[in-house]
Amino acid sequence: MALKAYWGRRIASSLLVLAVVLVLNFFLFRILPGDPVSAIIDPRFSPQAKEELAALFGLDRPMGEQFLLYVKQMLTFNFGVSFLSQRPVWDEIRSRLPNTLILLSSAMAISALLGIYLGVIAAAKRGGFIERLVLWAGAISFSFPSFFIQLVMLLLFAFAMPIFPLRGSVSIPPPPPGWPAMIDYIWHMVLPVSSLVILGFGSWALYVRNLMVKVLGEDFVFLARAKGLPQRLILWRHAFRSILPPIVTIIFLSLPGVVSGAVITETVFSLHGVGRFLLESVTGQDYPAAGAAFFLLALLTVVCNLLADLAYGFVDPRIGLERKMER
């Protein structure tokens, strides 16, 4: 019962957060300076033509009416029509999601797995090559701007040694559908994904190393060693398991970022993705597109938070027990 009440409260508070986001989403964009019509600075576009454009966008209707329409659209997942493209917002997002999801989820999975593995090894073998690599990789990921690394990779592997393509996610003309198209797609994604891995695994490795260094000095690890357990078992079954909750938190909280995209990566590699869509929607004051994108992001963040909570119970049974006792 106590657990049910806990989840009931968590879901209710999540819905409240979503409701607040829904309202803020509408009003924040509208109280920002300017609007989609006044942003047009073309002397051939008269004030009368701008009025017609405002009517086309529905901006001539009373604010209350606009708000009700917006709420209805968000709650029914019919996000209206983008001001910039005059296409349904959902179509716009859907066409961009595959590239962004594949790019960022694969980059995140590889960087996380590689980083976690290297972080654990670096903590276990202090002063060794792996630790030095982790420290360097961490420094690179924090000190180099992503566009620099990505442009260098383009220059090296797409220009000087043209192993990979310079742009996009498909060759021109495109290969026939099926395996050739899939191989072509993977070929196009190698550089962007690997650039994100290079930029990302260091911070994972550094974080895990630091957590592990602390844990490896704890009593339960000394006890395990005293019992004569093998080093591998101590590292992965005892020490690593105890640092899983913060890692799980980071993984789940990173997921919304996977959808919001990587604007710079998408720009450098000319990928059709959600990151640029978000940026263009905000800078172009495309209310329906920006509103939908931020609402979806908020929804995903709330869901990921709930999932993280749920996952704690799996990775650390003590947490579920504590919650039960608290109730």
Binding site for other proteins (CB under 8 A): 32-34, 37-53, 55-56, 81-82, 84-88, 95-96, 99, 151, 154-155, 158-159, 162, 166-170, 172-174, 266-273, 276, 283, 285
- Pick between residue 85 and residue 254 the one whose CB is nearest to other proteins: 85
Q: Is 80 left (phi over 0), alpha (psi -120 to 50) or beta?
A: left
> Which lies closer to other proteins via its Cβ, residue 83 or residue 312?
83
119 vs 275 by CB, closer to other proteins: 275
Please state, in angstroms and rounded to a whole number, the distance separating the CA atoms of residues 212 and 318: 20
Minimum Å gap between C-beta 148 and other proteins is: 11
CB of 179: closest distance to other proteins in angstroms? 19
In this complex, which beta carbon is closest to other proteins, that of residue 89 or of residue 251?
89
- State in angstroms the smallest separation of the CB of 295 from other proteins: 21
Question: Closest separation between CB of residue 26 and other proteins, Å?
Answer: 17
DSSP state of 177: T
Burial grade of 219 (CB within 10 A; 0-12, 13-18, 19 or more): exposed
Beta bridge partners of 270: none
Residue pair 291/23 in contact (Cβ under 8 Å)? The answer is no
Cβ-based nearer residue to other proteins, 247 or 292: 292
Which of 138, 273 has the CB closer to other proteins?
273
Tell me the two tokens of residue 263: 């604007």
d(CA 99, CA 69): 31
Q: Cβ 1 to other proteins, closest distance in Å?
A: 51
88 DSSP 8-state letter = B
> Distance between CA 232 and CA 47 in Å, rounded?
73
> What distance lies between CA 73 and its chain's CA centroid?
24
Residue 123 CB, shortest distance to other proteins, in Å, is 38
In the complex with other proteins, which residue's Cβ is closer, 107 or 153?
153
In whole angstroms, the minimum distance from the beta carbon of 256 to other proteins comes to 22
Q: H-type helices in the chain, by residue range?
A: 2-31, 47-57, 63-75, 89-124, 129-143, 146-154, 179-215, 219-226, 231-233, 240-242, 244-260, 263-268, 274-283, 287-315, 317-326
